[in-house]
């Protein structure tokens, strides 16, 4: 089994390499719930507790090195493929991982609160999927809330404001980049936009899509170099729930990237003319709870590819929509119209008037391999990992990775839900393939 080492030019550091677990060892993320669904949901997930917990499912030699600083190197099998980026004389490979909406409704905030410590801990929600996020060279997601501070009062829908500790958990889980261009980015006004950005910067989480008012010369996209492959990430949203009207046009234009085809074409063409190797576009679009993309989404995706987008990652519907490969001048370009919810309080129990409510519990981790050679940089592999949010009676929220349809067959309490989530998601994905 290939070894895995995660590095990026931005971090400038090497990290300890862990060996890929045997398939039975992988069940640490599968059998956790099998031990006891409710017991797991109420476990302590401090760093020491994580190490003790992992020791039940893997040899101590592995478990003892899984600390906050080293866990990012833990590799996993994904559909029997090792996400192992390798450097050869003639090419460089990197893996990207991307997820959909990261949301924090009021019941989630309440569930994460410790009255004894008067603080919040959201790590347990991400503990099962963290190894799968950390297996990639670069991990991206949609942060669909604000962190405007405790003084503003924490709240969920319709005006989101989450504790800063949500970002601590997201960083811990392995995210490198968050898009902040979505319909909730202005929920707490310009103050909320700017404090959210500042809190991400304090934690060294890259972001784009929203901007500080005084940084008028900053590019409207983010660039980073991962193992010699230069990426541009451009994030836009259809709107901000009408809160656009509370700002002057100048303040709005500076605060957030809105979908404007002429501006988007100009930006993407400028990126295309630069030294960027691959361009990723996050688009917040579509219709909520609709499982198929609209004609407008499909039309805009084709335009984005024509303008220079290599990867299009959709969000907003809160359910998974299909993915596909579009070809431009013979090169494959990946599009997923919606990655669904990665974590939220939306469910069949909370959205009883929505016909597609059960699908709000489903999400997907998209894995994309990029390969750079003397001929350029291209998409060379696609993998998908369905996910499902377990919401216990104690209102504990846990994201479960679903490697295969039968992953939780030994846990009758949740197996019907995970199996259904797997089938529903994978039926809409372009086949996992190498290009």
Residue 67 has pLDDT above 80, yes or no: no
Q: Within 10 A of 43 (CB to CB), how many other CB atoms are there?
A: 18
Residue 274 has pLDDT above 50, yes or no: yes
Measuring CA to CA, how many Å separate 93 from each of 15, 78, 131, 228, 376? 18, 16, 20, 10, 12
Provide, rounded to the nearest whole percent, the portion of the chain with pLDDT above 90. Answer: 78
pLDDT at 432: 96
pLDDT at 122: 97
368 — phi, psi (to 5°)?
Answer: -130, 125
CA distance 395 to 192: 27
pLDDT at 89: 61
CA distance 88 to 342: 34
pLDDT at 20: 33
52 — phi, psi (to 5°)?
Answer: -65, -40
Number of domains in the chain: 1
CA distance 353 to 229: 46
Supply 192's token pair. 């909320």
Q: If residue 51 lies in a helix (H) or strand (E), which one and from where to where? A: helix 47-54
CA distance 302 to 260: 15
Residue 132 belongs to some domain of the structure: yes
Residue 96 belongs to some domain of the structure: yes
pLDDT at 116: 96
What DSSP character marks residue 19? P
Average pLDDT estimate for 313-328: 98
Q: Where residue 39 falls among pLDDT bands split at 50, 70, 90?
A: very low
Residue 163 belongs to some domain of the structure: yes
Residue 35 belongs to some domain of the structure: no
- Provide the Cα torsion 381, 385, 386, 389; round to 10°: -140
Residue 48 belongs to some domain of the structure: no
3 state DSSP class of 63: helix
Residue 11 belongs to some domain of the structure: no
Residue appearing with tokens 């504990």: 396
Average pLDDT estimate for 253-270: 98
Q: Angle formed by the axes of helices 295-307 and 261-272, to 10°?
A: 30
Tell me the pLDDT tens digit for each residue of 173-227: 999 999 999 999 999 999 999 999 999 999 999 999 999 999 999 999 999 999 9
Write down the mean pLDDT value for the chain.
84
CA distance 353 to 403: 31
pLDDT at 83: 56
Residue 30 belongs to some domain of the structure: no
- Beta bridge mates, 237: 258, 284
Q: If residue 232 lies in a helix (H) or strand (E), which one and from where to where? A: strand 229-237
Say which CATH number the domain at 167 has.
Answer: 3.60.21.10
Q: Within 10 A of 273 (CB to CB), how many other CB atoms are there?
A: 9
CA distance 336 to 364: 10
Residue 428 belongs to some domain of the structure: yes
pLDDT at 434: 94
User: Which residue range is the domain that position 287 belongs to?
Assistant: 81-434
Range in 53-57, 290-294, 396-400 with the lowest mean pLDDT: 53-57
Q: Where residue 394 falls among pLDDT bands split at 50, 70, 90?
A: low
Residue of higher predicted confidence among 104 and 17? 104
pLDDT at 392: 79
């Amino acid at each position: 089994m290939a070894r895995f080492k995660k590095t990026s030019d931005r971090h400038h550091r090497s990290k300890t390499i862990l060996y890929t677990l045997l398939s039975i060892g992988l069940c640490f993320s599968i059998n956790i719930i099998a031990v006891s669904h409710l017991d797991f949901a109420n476990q302590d997930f401090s760093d020491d507790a994580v190490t003790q917990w992992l020791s039940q499912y893997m040899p101590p030699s592995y478990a003892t090195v899984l600390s906050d600083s080293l866990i990012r190197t833990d590799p996993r099998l994904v559909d029997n493929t090792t996400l192992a980026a390798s450097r050869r004389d003639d090419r460089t490979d990197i893996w990207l991982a991307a997820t959909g909406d990261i949301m924090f409704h009021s019941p989630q905030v309440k569930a994460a609160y410790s009255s004894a410590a008067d603080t919040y801990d959201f790590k347990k929600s991400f503990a099962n999927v963290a190894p799968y996020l950390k297996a990639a060279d670069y991990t991206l997601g949609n942060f669909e809330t604000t962190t405007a501070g405790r003084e503003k009062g924490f709240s969920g829908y319709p005006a989101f404001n989450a504790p800063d500790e949500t970002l601590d958990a997201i960083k811990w889980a392995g995210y490198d980049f968050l898009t902040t261009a979505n319909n909730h980015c202005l929920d707490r006004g310009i103050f909320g936009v700017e404090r959210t950005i500042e809190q991400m910067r304090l934690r060294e989480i890259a972001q784009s899509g929203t901007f500080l008012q005084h940084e008028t010369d900053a590019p409207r996209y983010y660039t980073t170099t991962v193992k010699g492959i230069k990426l541009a990430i451009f994030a836009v949203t259809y709107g901000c729930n009408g809160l656009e009207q509370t700002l002057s046009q100048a303040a709005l234009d500076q605060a957030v990237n809105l979908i404007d085809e002429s501006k988007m074409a100009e930006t993407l063409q400028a990126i295309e003319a630069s030294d960027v190797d691959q361009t990723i576009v996050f688009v917040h679009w579509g219709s909520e709870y609709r499982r198929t993309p609209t004609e407008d989404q499909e039309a805009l995706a084709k335009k984005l590819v024509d303008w220079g987008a290599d990867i299009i990652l959709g969000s907003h519907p809160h359910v998974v929509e299909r993915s596909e490969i579009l070809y431009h001048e013979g090169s494959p370009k990946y599009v997923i119209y919606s990655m669904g919810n990665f974590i939220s309080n939306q469910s069949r129990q909370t959205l009883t008037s929505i016909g597609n409510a059960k699908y709000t519990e489903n999400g997907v981790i998209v894995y994309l391999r990029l390969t750079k050679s003397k001929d350029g940089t291209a998409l060379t592999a696609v993998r998908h990992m369905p996910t499902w949010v377990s919401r216990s009676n104690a209102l504990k929220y846990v994201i479960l990775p679903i490697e295969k349809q039968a992953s939780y067959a030994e846990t009758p309490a949740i197996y019907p839900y995970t199996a259904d989530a797997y089938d529903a998601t994978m039926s809409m994905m372009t086949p996992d393939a190498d290009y």
